[in-house]
Structure 1
Amino acid sequence: MTAIHSNASATLPQANHPYKVMALYKFASLPDAEALKTPLAQFCCNRGIKGTLILAPEGINGTVAGSTEAIDALADYLFATGPFGTRLQGAEVKYSFADTAPFLRMKVRLKPEIVTLRAPEADPSKAVGTYVEPGDWNSLIDQNDVVLVDTRNDYEVGLGTFQRALDPATANFTEFKDYVAQNLDPARDKKVAMFCTGGIRCEKASSYLLSQGFEEVFHLKGGILKYLEVVPPEQSRFQGECFVFDERVSVGHGLELGNATLCRACRHPLTDADRQHPDYQEGTSCPFCAGDEAKHQAAAERQRQMDLARQRGTMHLGDEAATAAKKAKARKVMQAEQSRERNRG
């Protein structure tokens, strides 16, 4: 087996844990995405791999987990020996390890885009902006003639962003086109730098800006997560925490666990200040959904069912999910403390 992308992961922390996690994306021409879906799903299911992979004519995106042997076999299948041929080589891949299964089932989904922008002129497989390594990012964004744009959605920006970054205030990525049309000008904004959580959104955004006539377009390679991982806190230009789409909710410098939680009613991330707001009621409402009675009623009913399940001595599905999230968060806090202790030693 070729074992592409797998050797470096052997030296990662917690590499002795039973589950290896692979997060990946690649913009590539996959006009045969529909034909690739079933063989990919069968390959994963036959090896006990679980998670979600999105296939589209523009590429692949997703996160999966399984045994080290299974994930290494999948890497070989995707990048070398499988029906993708060499089209996915050079994919952005991140490995980590977990002591419990992160996913319950395997899903391969076919979608029109791996990142929904609805702008056919944006094609990262043909044209993309200049990648900037995290170590070089500060020197770029410190330049006065660089326009810095956060391509994430408003609830993500609210937790943290780079100093002097522009906030498009978008509810979803498809609105980014309108923001560009109304606020950016290729004749005026000669240098535009963009960033997102892991690199995929700003890669597509950079392709879109190039299609609109912008000449010098830059984007942070590996996204905020890679920046927080490798740039020392004392040199960082990032303020706050970075929202992540898993049970951690947010991370800070060194990818240490953040303080954010999710509102159970509207799923909006909440800071310490948000949880002190008069409109916050644990499990029922928060400042961001204060006027949405339908969400409050649904959350209150879910909480009531969880309370009834506890009284009967059984476990409600929502209670089980919340408990699992709390355990995972506590486990990550403990691992972070252990890591700090080892570093001090």
Structure 2
Amino acid sequence: MALLHNRVSQKELKELLFQETEPRTTISFYEYFPIENPQQFRDELYQALKDLKVFGRIYVASEGINAQISVPDSNVEAFRVYLYSLPYLNGLRLNIAVDDDGKSFWVLKIKVRPKIVADGIEDASFDMRNKGKYVNAEQMNELLKDPGTIVVDMRNHYEFEVGHFETAMEVPSDTFREQLPMAVEMLKDQQDKNIVMYCTGGIRCEKASAYMLHNGFKNVFHLEGGIINYAQQVKEKGLDSKFIGKNFVFDNRMGERITEDIISQCHQCGQPADTHVNCANDGCHLLFIQCPSCAEKFKGTCSDACHEVILLPEEEQKASRRGVEKGVHTFNKSRSRLRPRLNEINNIGKEEK
């Protein structure tokens, strides 16, 4: 039986990746479609993509597939042919990274999950087939000219912080499952407005658009292919980018630059910066924004305390981590920024009455 899981250490895999001489292309895609046997689908997919030397992270569920991968340039066409040979995936849109060094992933991981996006929706009458209207980059820019259009960012606070559409509303939460009911509540008095949802690659805003319609909203749109596809269309068609700053991505790059604007600050000194890092202290790994000066001063750590830890001998560092639940945590200022924008949104309807 073929081996359907990786058995090489992460350190070795990273070293092998950086020894590669052939360029790689970073691609993301998703599709909502019924999968009767997700585990069987996963195993067949793993074998096919492993043979094509694909690296990346893929989630499979009964509701569909969500993938962020890198492919050797010489295998991109073979990958496309294979993917399009699968039921429901023929002609699927592939989002190609716009700011890519080809080093986004170093191993192939395919996991079966209950859903491809954890949404917390338990209402059996919710139907993904009833979703908002797709808009492309040109249509998005046109909608943004209307001051009555409400643009909703369905990403996490740390994604919004480094880049977003100029007039976008942030839904201040750490999880998508919390954002859905929050968005409904925040916009409850704006059900007849044009509401445009967007996210990184389209998967979250597509589900969010269906959820808004499910909750009585009328004119709901979502950005096809998300920011990644928008940036690609802007580049190809010579359009003005209404998205400013960086697009946070969930791979080793942690971001792809869309415009030269730096709209966020270093979380340590307050200087303009938009580079996300994980704290170099393995007992912390806080995700935060750090400028080059602070990166040098703190040696990639988030604080004096973590800086002191990484100066200790390795065995002492390991001893300090024993029994500590690290989890996933991020630097978060989003809630303090919410109120002014929420007041502005809620005044749109009042001003027109």
TM-score using structure 2 length: 0.66
Q: Note closer, same or farther for the CA distance 1:182–1:33 as it changes in structure 2 (3 Å cut).
A: same
CA contact (8 A) 2:245 2:260 kept: no
Local SS of the residue matching 1:227: helix
Q: What is the aligned counterpart of 2:301 among 278, 284, 292?
A: 284
2:344 alignment partner in structure 1: none
1:119 alignment partner in structure 2: 121
CA contact (8 A) 1:45 1:106 kept: yes
Q: Note closer, same or farther for the CA distance 1:305–1:119 as it changes in structure 2 (3 Å cut).
A: farther
1:270 alignment partner in structure 2: 289
Q: Note closer, same or farther for the CA distance 1:167–1:18 as it changes in structure 2 (3 Å cut).
A: closer
In the TM superposition, what whole-angstrom CA distance separates every residue of 1:191-221 from its partner, at most 9, and x where no partner exists? Answer: 2111111222111111111111211111112
> C-alpha distance in 2, partners of 1:185/1:79?
40
Q: Note closer, same or farther for the CA distance 1:236–1:305 as it changes in structure 2 (3 Å cut).
A: farther
Aligned residues: 277
Q: What is the aligned counterpart of 2:30 among 21, 25, 28?
A: 25
Opposite residue 108 of structure 1, the aligned amino acid is: I
What's the CA shift for 1:153? 0.8
What's the CA shift for 1:305? 5.5
**2:266 matches 1:247:** no
2:268 alignment partner in structure 1: none
**2:175 matches 1:172:** yes
- Give matches, 1:10-49, under 5 Å: 17-49=22-54
What's the CA shift for 1:242? 2.1
CA contact (8 A) 2:248 2:254 kept: yes
> C-alpha distance in 2, partners of 1:187/1:103?
41
What's the CA shift for 1:300? 5.0
Q: What is the aligned counterpart of 2:107 among 105, 108, 113?
A: 105
- Give matches, 1:1-345, under 5 Å: 17-68=22-73, 70-80=75-85, 84-85=86-87, 87-95=88-96, 102-120=104-122, 122-124=126-128, 126-185=129-188, 188-231=191-234, 235-253=240-258, 259-264=274-279, 265-270=284-289, 272=291, 281-285=298-302, 297=306, 301-302=309-310, 304=312
Local SS of the residue matching 1:25: strand
2:13 alignment partner in structure 1: none
> C-alpha distance in 2, partners of 1:260/1:302?
21
Opposite residue 250 of structure 2, the aligned amino acid is: F
Unmatched tracts of structure 1, length 5 or more = 1-15, 291-295, 309-345
Sequence identity, in percent? Answer: 28
Q: Note closer, same or farther for the CA distance 1:155–1:88 as it changes in structure 2 (3 Å cut).
A: same
What's the CA shift for 1:78? 2.5
Q: Note closer, same or farther for the CA distance 1:30–1:305 as it changes in structure 2 (3 Å cut).
A: farther
CA contact (8 A) 1:228 1:253 kept: yes
In the TM superposition, what whole-angstrom CA distance separates every residue of 1:202-250 from its partner, at most 9, and x where no partner exists? Answer: 1111111111121111111222233334437983333332222233333
Local SS of the residue matching 1:114: coil
Structure 1 window deviating more from structure 2 (128-137 vs 26-35): it is 26-35
Local SS of the residue matching 1:149: strand
Structure 1 window deviating more from structure 2 (233-242 vs 189-198): it is 233-242
> C-alpha distance in 2, partners of 1:248/1:136?
29
Local SS of the residue matching 2:94: strand
Q: CA RMSD in A?
A: 3.6
Q: Note closer, same or farther for the CA distance 1:132–1:255 as it changes in structure 2 (3 Å cut).
A: farther
What's the CA shift for 1:123? 4.2
Opposite residue 201 of structure 1, the aligned amino acid is: R
Q: Note closer, same or farther for the CA distance 1:142–1:242 as it changes in structure 2 (3 Å cut).
A: same
What's the CA shift for 1:180? 2.5
Opposite residue 116 of structure 2, the aligned amino acid is: I
In the TM superposition, what whole-angstrom CA distance separates every residue of 1:80-133 from its partner, at most 9, and x where no partner exists? Answer: 1xxx42x12242312469776643322211011111112155543x12211111
TM-score using structure 1 length: 0.68
Opposite residue 106 of structure 2, the aligned amino acid is: L
Which of the pair has the greater relative contact order for Cα pairs under 8 Å at 6+ separation? 2
Local SS of the residue matching 1:92: coil
CA contact (8 A) 2:95 2:225 kept: no
Local SS of the residue matching 1:60: strand
Structure 1 window deviating more from structure 2 (48-57 vs 127-136): it is 48-57
Opposite residue 225 of structure 2, the aligned amino acid is: G
What's the CA shift for 1:154? 0.9
> C-alpha distance in 2, partners of 1:228/1:66?
20
